[in-house]
Structure 1
Amino acid sequence: MIGTRVFDMVVNGVSLMDTYQEYHVIVEDREAMHLADLVSIRSDLEGASAACGLFEEEAREDSADTAKLRVFFESAVISYARAFASGKGSGAGRQRSKIENLLGSLDPEQRLAHDDVLSIRNRHVGHRVDPTEQSVMVLATFDRQSLKFKGVAPFLVDRIDGGLMAGLASCVGSLAYLVDLEISRVMDQLAKFYELQESEGRILPEALLHVNPRGPEAD
């Protein structure tokens, strides 16, 4: 257990440590950093869920704003895909924890939505390489009677898949629940481990080595 730093947050001028009469020490061992990664992944899923909700609300409008739908669509795709992206994890020299092991709990429709979203993220939202998702056609217009040229107009074709968003929302709900269970499991595991360390006299973090347990008035 690494605990070289004491963490305190001041809310409305009052220290949280003073409020609860306890020390908050930042721990950065491997198990704690895995928990931090899970919480970060849960935040990504929350972002995707919020974007799906906003998309659904806008889509129900009589005159839905296409620009808003695209923003919500892309935001949901990016947030969701980030939960499965590789990269730096919490702590020094760590890769971010993965949750691919949870995908086996999805039903076939949810798994299809998952695969489609990651494909769209890689081939459209993150990189413009898929013309089936968005393309621009330049149209030359001609008069139907004289067949004389009238002008040029660009035409944007942007596929915004409401069905996929519904599948994504379902997928996010299931995965968020599973990640919450994993977070609870790891928290319980850490608590039991630290309790065992304390009973064996090995838990006191470096940050508290010079703290008088009787309080500053005893110094």
Structure 2
Amino acid sequence: MSTPAPQGFPQIGLSGPMPGALADLQSLANDVEFARQCALGYLAYSSSTPTSEQPLVAKALWFAGAIAYRRAFTSGRGHLVAGGSRLKIKDAWTTLLTTDQLAAHDDTLRMANQHIAHRVADHEGAVVVAVLTPPPGPREVAGVGHMLVHMIGPEVVVAERLASVCDVLLGLFRTEAERLGTLIRTKLDEANIDELYAVSSIPGKEFTVPGEDSDESGEPDGDATG
């Protein structure tokens, strides 16, 4: 979604609500794309020939991806606007998902929340047991044992559906980024060209793009999905 600037062209750092929203979209897209790649990696490892490292790698991929996916839906500091908040992904976008995709979305967020709380699933936890001597030995306590019951990750179909959910989100991000990019270009075309070149000659100087409604304080509606 990022577009590298041409070499040798004067550049101006932009600030304001719309450039900030565009930067936020890139940040969100990075999180979701990473989650997508982790889900696909989990699928690949789950279907490959078992090795001693496979469970560890699969578990690392799943939970790294789940936490990155969760991060896209949490609040945070916005870009390029002092004291601003990052764009939020509002709930309306989920109407684009199938029932199975929505379930994968909800399951992933639930597992990510539980992972951060140090308990990944309802069936995961430490188990302490009393070990008894089996027959025909004497009826007595042989000792005390403990074990950790843990999960590697969900069924592969959940990861497969999550990857498709990420595709939906990334498509919405691209559409909104194109819309904001067009609006920013319009505002720049309306600006004083001499002022723009003057700003480009001052290291660290930024040009504040007027808000979406031609108001210096105007802000986008705060929805990353348009």
> By how many angstroms is 1:186 displaced?
1.4
- What's 1:83 paired with? 72
Contact 1:194-1:203 within 8 A present in 2 as well: no
- What's 1:72 paired with? 61
C-alpha distance in 2 between matches for 1:21 and 1:54? 39
SS in 1 for 2:85: coil
2:99 corresponds to which of 90, 100, 108: 108
> By how many angstroms is 1:206 displaced?
5.6
> By how many angstroms is 1:133 displaced?
5.0
Deviation per CA, 1:145-194, whole angstroms, max 9, x where unpaired?
A: 12443444322222321232222112112111221221122112211221
> By how many angstroms is 1:86 displaced?
0.4
- What's 1:138 paired with? 128
2:164 corresponds to which of 148, 170, 174: 170
Count of residue pairs the alignment pairs up: 192
Question: Which runs of no fewer than 5 residues in structure 1 stay unpaired?
Answer: 1-15, 212-219
**TM-score, normalising length from structure 2?**
0.74
2:154 corresponds to which of 155, 161, 164: 161
Partner amino acid, structure 1, of 2:150: D
- What's 1:6 paired with? none
Partner amino acid, structure 2, of 1:156: L
Partner amino acid, structure 2, of 1:161: P
**Aligned pair 1:192/2:195, yes or no?**
no
> By how many angstroms is 1:40 displaced?
0.4
- What's 2:38 paired with? 51
Higher mean C-alpha deviation, range 84-93 or range 157-166: 157-166
SS in 2 for 1:204: helix
2:111 corresponds to which of 117, 120, 124: 120
**Aligned pair 1:99/2:89, yes or no?**
yes
C-alpha distance in 2 between matches for 1:84 and 1:205? 38
> By how many angstroms is 1:103 displaced?
2.6
Do the aligned partners of residues 34 and 55 (structure 1) sit closer, same or farther apart at CA in structure 2, a change above 3 Å counting?
Answer: same
Contact 1:49-1:169 within 8 A present in 2 as well: yes
SS in 1 for 2:191: helix
Higher relative contact order (CA 8 A, sep 6+): 2
Do the aligned partners of residues 63 and 141 (structure 1) sit closer, same or farther apart at CA in structure 2, a change above 3 Å counting?
Answer: farther
Partner amino acid, structure 1, of 2:154: D
User: Percent identity among equivalent residues?
Assistant: 22
Do the aligned partners of residues 84 and 202 (structure 1) sit closer, same or farther apart at CA in structure 2, a change above 3 Å counting?
Answer: farther
**Aligned pair 1:21/2:14, yes or no?**
no
**Aligned pair 1:149/2:133, yes or no?**
no
2:48 corresponds to which of 41, 55, 61: 61
C-alpha distance in 2 between matches for 1:133 and 1:120? 12
Deviation per CA, 1:63-103, whole angstroms, max 9, x where unpaired?
A: 25222222111101100011111011112211000122433
- What's 1:8 paired with? none
SS in 2 for 1:132: coil
